[in-house]
Structure 1
Amino acid sequence: MRSRAQDLSPVAIRERILDAAEACLVESGYSSRLHAVISERAGLSRPTVYKYVGDQSEIFEALFQREITRFFTRLTPVLRDSDRLDTGLADCVVFAVGYARRHVLLQKGLRDDPAVVLPWFTVLARPFVERGTDYLAPLFERLMTAEQSAAIDSRAVCEWAFRLVASLITTGGVVDTSDDAALREFVAGLLSIGVAAPVAQMA
């Protein structure tokens, strides 16, 4: 038997609502009217749903924020297992693209409701880029040599990684993003261009 709203903490109520919202979106898509089906699935009143998550756009944002937090939690050990900036960056990109590829709700949105999902990777992306940069910059800094730290801004590395991952997630191309080895080779090739250009100029 489900707990009543008055028996739950505000955090637990919000999580129940977001769990219900995610399930409803997977079943019905982003374009459906959500509050009625969310309240029914969560066993909470519609006013409670509005109180804790707001309108439909705020529900999407709350789900995106929650998923970003989950993603960072899973990405952290991947970067901690790396020992160099180039391999860490490749590990980050491969992990992020694979994570997105397996994410049922994201893939459904990209396929069925791109007009709702794509802005979070483009015109609405800045807050998430900034949040990701704040979180990831120290992890990338740990992988840098003294020379790299003097020459490279770790926050720029984070933003570059986001832009690359967002492009690979949302845009088709010649790279087979379902093949981790091919994706890693692609990222390594991009990194080698940045290294090779100054060497070629010096020769």
Structure 2
Amino acid sequence: MNSRAQDLSPTAIRERILDAAEACLIEFGYGSRLHAVITERAGLSRPTVYKYVGDQAQIFEALLQREITRFFTLLDPVLRGLDRLDDGFVECVVFAVGYARRHPVLQKGLRDDPATVLPWFTVQSGPLIERGAEFLAPYFERMRRDGPAVSAQVICEWAFRLVSSLITTTGCVDTDDERALRELVRGLLSIGAVPAVEPA
């Protein structure tokens, strides 16, 4: 790195640290003690890294938050032009699964260190669900104007839980095949249209 910390804005320093963290996670994985390697890759001193991002756990958290922001930025145009709730739900899930399947840091973690990554989608998923609902609720609220009387928050949570399952487990449908994935999600939605059977 050519520029020194004093020549950079706080935002540029933080981005440099997170870029280095992303590269180190892809190269070395989640299991090693990465703080020193990230510091070296960023070309910054340890005190500077601690000052602008924090320890290794805080770096991972900041990297996760940055990736979520990037994801929502890319998802926005996918949802913006859709008016029907079923279309919006399906396209949201298909986009999210495809994005996760192509994400090198996430895939490296799921493959090499699932014990570190899986809690984000299971027992520690509350903040991700809340952040997802905050972003998605206005879209789903607009799309469901004439649709079912289900809260947008519930729809968001269902989308998150479905995406989490599809990216962390395997099944009989090839979720790398976008057409097959779209058919699967549409099929799941159609279950809601089946009338409930009255108990005998």
Task: Please give the TM-score of this superposition, normalised by the length of structure 2.
Answer: 0.95
Alignment match, 1:166: 164
Aligned position for 2:174: 176
Residue 152 of structure 1, aligned match among 150, 153, 168: 150
* Counterparts of 2:27 and 2:69, CA distance in 1: 23
**Higher deviation after alignment, 163-172 or 5-14:** 5-14
Matches within 5 A, 1:17-166: 17-148=17-148, 151-166=149-164
State the Cα deviation string for residues 23-47 of structure 1 (Å, max 9, x = none).
0110000011112111111110011
Q: Which amino acid aligns with 2:117?
A: V
1:69 maps to a residue whose letter is: T
Q: Secondary structure at the match of 2:83?
A: coil
What SS does structure 1 have at the residue aligned with 2:193? helix
One-letter amino acid of the counterpart of residue 193, structure 2: V
| Matches of 2:133 and 2:193, distance apart in 1 | 23
Q: Distance in 2 between matches of 1:103 and 1:61?
A: 16
Deviations 1:144-169 (A, max 9, x none): 13343xx1101100000000000000
Q: What corresponds to 2:187 in structure 1?
A: 189
State the distance in 1 between where 2:171 and 2:90 align: 18
Structure 1, residues 29-71: CA drift from partner, whole Å, max 9, x if none? 0011112111111110011112222121111111111100000
Question: What is the root-mean-square deviation of aligned Cα atoms in Å?
Answer: 1.3
Residue identity opposite 2:175 in structure 1: T
**Counterpart contact for 2:18–2:63, Cα < 8 Å:** yes
Separation in structure 1 between the aligned mates of residue 167 and residue 147 of structure 2, nearest angstrom: 32
Q: So what's the TM-score if we normalise by structure 1?
A: 0.93
| Uncovered stretches (5+) of structure 1, i.e. residues with no partner | none
Counterpart-to-counterpart distance in 1, 2:70 and 2:195: 37
Identity of matched residues, %: 72
- The structure with the greater share of residues assigned to helix is 1
Number of residue pairs aligned between Structure 1 and Structure 2: 198
* SS across alignment from 1:15: helix
User: What do residues 94-146 of structure 1 show as CA deviations (whole Å, max 9, x unaligned)?
Assistant: 00000000001110100001011111111111011111101110011111133
Structure 2 Cα separation of the partners of residues 115 and 17 of structure 1: 24
